[in-house]
Every structure is written in structure tokens, then in C-alpha cells.
Amino acid sequence: MDVKQLISDMVDQAREASRKLARAGSEQKNAALRYVADALENRTSEIRKENQKDVALARGKGAKDAFVDRLTLTDRIIGEMAAGLREVSALPDPVGEVTRMWTRPNGLQVGRMRIPLGVIGFVYESRPNVTVDAAGLCLKSGNAVVMKGGSEAHNSNMMLAKVLQEGVRAAELPETAVQVIPTTDRRAVIELLKRDDAVDLLIPRGGEELIRYMVDHSRIPVLRHEKGVCHVYVDASAELDMALEVSYNSKVQRPGVCNAMETLLVHGDMAESFLPPMFEWFREAGVLLKGCPITHRMFPEVEEATEEDWYTEYEDLILSVRVVPGMEEAMDHIAKYGSRHTETIVTENYERAMRFVRQVDSSLVLVNASTRFNDGYQLGLGAEIGISTVKLHAFGPMGLEELTTTKFIAFGNGQIRT
């Protein structure tokens, strides 16, 4: 197969489709989403059959159970994919929204109108349901998308692509608005990255290596989630029970995800009352603790954290704990070791709550709530295609709005410059 030609054609078709999709009305896009949802449900057994091929291949290669679990499409997961599309179809359409309008002294009415970005390149690893979620968000926001999934899910993704295109066609939109690259050849990604003339944005969802590769090898902007070293700071004035609940939830509710707490910072005045019950809760949940010298002195059984630990995203039941003399030191720690993802302060002090919110430079800064809320659904965006930890274009969860940009519009009656 001529991979270069294949990708070049796909990208050209996506570009062409993006112009039509940008002009499509909300009703037509919503209909496409609902058609895809119906098709997913009607073709569940076919989808599962293709998915079983991937599962068998993975097992043959000795994949771990957790990996196979993530790869497997059950009736329930396919049903959730369909439900997700119907939810997106019910969300407001960002395209065409005039976000503001003002009038200039010469009478020119100026405003900003939301428009799609154009063509999105989406490169992701395993989890075939992401194929449908991402396609749904791109479609609704008026963007054409060229997707490259992991080779482990290739058969599943190709089947899902068929279903997606069927739905798009049924709504009389160009099916090339949603394309999955039909090869596991890695050169396909390389070719995609070269097309900065036609691809407006790259979104990788995968490991650090994939992201770094894309940033290094393309002129196309990359919206990416680098890592989530999230902090909870328990202030001197924290309400004890709330501090325990919020810290516990931030670490234990789902430790393997990016918005789970990795480091707990505790004001010195709270250490004696807060740490003993907290550590008991954590031990019962099987959390391995690492501590600063003060923590280690208070709890000799807690091993000392290394310098590297403070930078580490464990994504596991492991937690670094540091006792700090005050909020300034907590914020300095976050600025030095954090990843600008999510930080929480637990406090009853108004001034410190407001200052923490203003000064901490992270995509979500919370007061008295779990770090686990950094998620498009939880924050009320309706859906998300990822969480950006870079500041350009979008910072934090990216929903439909973040897949658009704004152009200026102006209504005049003959204004000229003098």
C-alpha cells in the first residue's frame, strides 16, 4: 500500500468535507449523531465479532487482563457509546454562536462568531470506544476528523468507522468528515503530521512518547495532556472531616487516572490532628505512603520520599505527603513540582481560598472539593475530548466549545477608513 498517497487523499477529502460540515445546520449534525447511535445498537453483534478478533490477537500476544478489559467491547459499552452520542446531539451547537457584539463610534457593529477549527488529526491508543466519542464531538463541532487508533484495536476501529460513516451518510453529510486510517502502518502517522497545509489541530491521546513524537515532528499545533501531578493542600483552617473526605476521594476513588491526587500538602498546624486519621484511612485502602522528613519523623514507618517522587504521577495507590509551614510554601511546591493539571485547597479561610484560586497556575483550581472533578462531564461541559495541560488555545477539559475558534464579523452601512 502507498501510505503516503493514502493519507494525502484522506486529508484532502477531510478538508473538502470540513467545508461542507462547517456549513451544516445543527439539525443535520444531530441527526447524523442519532443515526450513528441507532446503527451502533443495531449492529452490536457485528461490532462484537470484529472486536473479538482484536481480543483474540491480544490474548495470543500474551496481553494482561487489564489491557484486554480495556480493549473489550461489551453490549453495555456499546450501549454507552450510543447513549453518549445522543447526549452530544442534545448539547447546544457552538458553531455560529455570536459570543459578543458591540458597536463602534462609526456605527460599525462588530462581533465574534464561533466557527469550527477545520480538520482535526486524532491519534490515540487502545480503547476503541474513544473512536466513537471523539468522532461525535468533532462532528457536532463542525470539524472533519482523521483518526488513527492503536493497532491492538484495528479491527474494532474499522468496524466502528463503517458504522460512523453509515450514520453520517444517512444524514446527507459527506462520509469523509469522519475517517479512520485503515492501516496499522506507523508511517501513516508520519504522513499525517506532515500535512500542516490541511490539518488544523492534532490531538494525541496516549503515552508521553506518542505526544513528544507528534510535537517534535509536526508544524501542526498539538493540544495535549502531558501529565497530572495533582495536589491537595490542607490549610491550617481546614475543616477536619472535609479535609479527610476530600483527600481520600482525590486519591482513592479512582487512583489510575490523571486527576487523582499524587501529593498531599499539609499545613504544619494541621499535621497532628489530620495526619493520624488520614493515614489510617489510607492504610485501610492499601495506599503506600511516602513522606517528607517531618512526616517520616512523625510516622517512622512511612518511608522518605525522594526528590523524584515529588515530580511523579503514580497513577496508583501511592501518595507523597509533605508538611509545609504555610500556603506560600504549598504554592511554591505546586509551582515547582506540579504539572498545571488540578489542585485543591481545603480551607475555611476566605482570603486564602481566594488567593489560592487566583495564584495557582493550573487548568482547574478548586476550593473544598475533590481533584477528581477535573473532567468535562463533571464540570458541566457535557463531554470532553481530552484535558489540555498546555495553555495555548484551551487549558483544561476540552468540550465542544474548545473544538472551535472565533472569527470577527462586522455589519456596516458603507463605513470606510479616513
The answer to whether residue 269 forms part of the interface with a second copy (CB under 8 A) is no
The answer to whether residue 379 forms part of the interface with a second copy (CB under 8 A) is yes
Give pairs for 44-51: CB < 8 Å, separation 24+. Answer: 44/75, 44/78, 46/159, 47/73, 47/78, 47/156, 47/159, 47/160, 47/163, 48/73, 48/74, 48/75, 48/78, 50/155, 50/156, 50/158, 50/159, 51/128, 51/155, 51/156, 51/159
The closest of 114, 143, 118 to 409, measured between CA atoms, is: 114
The answer to whether residue 13 forms part of the interface with a second copy (CB under 8 A) is no
Segment near a second copy (CB under 8 A), from 37-45, 84-92, 182-190, 402-410? 402-410
The answer to whether residue 358 forms part of the interface with a second copy (CB under 8 A) is yes
Segment near a second copy (CB under 8 A), from 31-39, 163-171, 266-274, 353-361? 353-361
Q: Which of 147, 258, 370, 386 binds a second copy (CB under 8 A)?
A: 370
Residue count of the chain, please give it. 418
Q: How many residues bind a second copy (CB under 8 A)?
A: 69
Segment near a second copy (CB under 8 A), from 77-85, 149-157, 287-295, 366-374? 366-374
Evaluate whether 146 touches 122 at the Cβ level (below 8 Å).
yes
Segment near a second copy (CB under 8 A), from 65-73, 175-183, 214-222, 227-235? 214-222
Cell 477535573, located at residue = 374
Q: Which of 6, 77, 210, 215 binds a second copy (CB under 8 A)?
A: 215
The answer to whether residue 20 forms part of the interface with a second copy (CB under 8 A) is no
Distance separating alpha carbons of residues 210 and 207, to the nearest angstrom: 6
Q: To the nearest whole angstrom, how small is the minimum distance from the Cβ of residue 146 to a second copy?
A: 17
Evaluate whether 140 touches 93 at the Cβ level (below 8 Å).
yes
> How many CA atoms, within 13 angstroms, populate the side-chain half-sphere of residue 188?
22
Beta pairing, strands 288-291 & 342-346? unpaired
Residues 96-125 vs a second copy: string with x where CB under 8 A?
x-----x-x---x-x--x-x-xx-------
Segment near a second copy (CB under 8 A), from 43-51, 293-301, 304-312, 355-363? 355-363
Q: Which of 70, 86, 162, 393 binds a second copy (CB under 8 A)?
A: 393
Give the Å distances, CA to CA, from 325 to 167, 181, 270, 315: 59, 54, 10, 27
Evaluate whether 85 touches 37 at the Cβ level (below 8 Å).
yes
CA distance from start to end of the chain: 59
The answer to whether residue 410 forms part of the interface with a second copy (CB under 8 A) is yes
| Sites for a second copy among residues 65-84 (CB under 8 A) | none
Radius of gyration of the chain (CA): 24
300/380 with CB nearer a second copy? 380
The answer to whether residue 90 forms part of the interface with a second copy (CB under 8 A) is no
Residue ranges of E strands in 268-330: 288-291, 303-304, 318-324
Contacts of 282 (CB under 8 A, 6+ apart): 248, 251, 252, 289, 319
Compute CA 393 distance to the chain's CA centroid, rounded to the nearest angstrom: 14
Q: Which three cell numbers stand for residue 307?
A: 526528590
The answer to whether residue 318 forms part of the interface with a second copy (CB under 8 A) is no
Q: To the nearest whole angstrom, how small is the minimum distance from the Cβ of residue 124 to a second copy?
A: 20
Q: To the nearest whole angstrom, how small is the minimum distance from the Cβ of residue 22 to a second copy?
A: 7
Q: Which of 249, 263, 312, 320 binds a second copy (CB under 8 A)?
A: 249
The answer to whether residue 368 forms part of the interface with a second copy (CB under 8 A) is yes
| Sites for a second copy among residues 163-202 (CB under 8 A) | 200-201
Distance separating alpha carbons of residues 48 and 40, to the nearest angstrom: 11
Residues that bind a second copy in the complex, under the rule CB under 8 A: 19, 22-23, 96, 102, 104, 108, 110, 113, 115, 117-118, 200-201, 215-216, 219, 221, 239, 242, 245-246, 248-249, 253-254, 335, 353, 357-359, 361-370, 372-374, 378-380, 390-397, 405-418
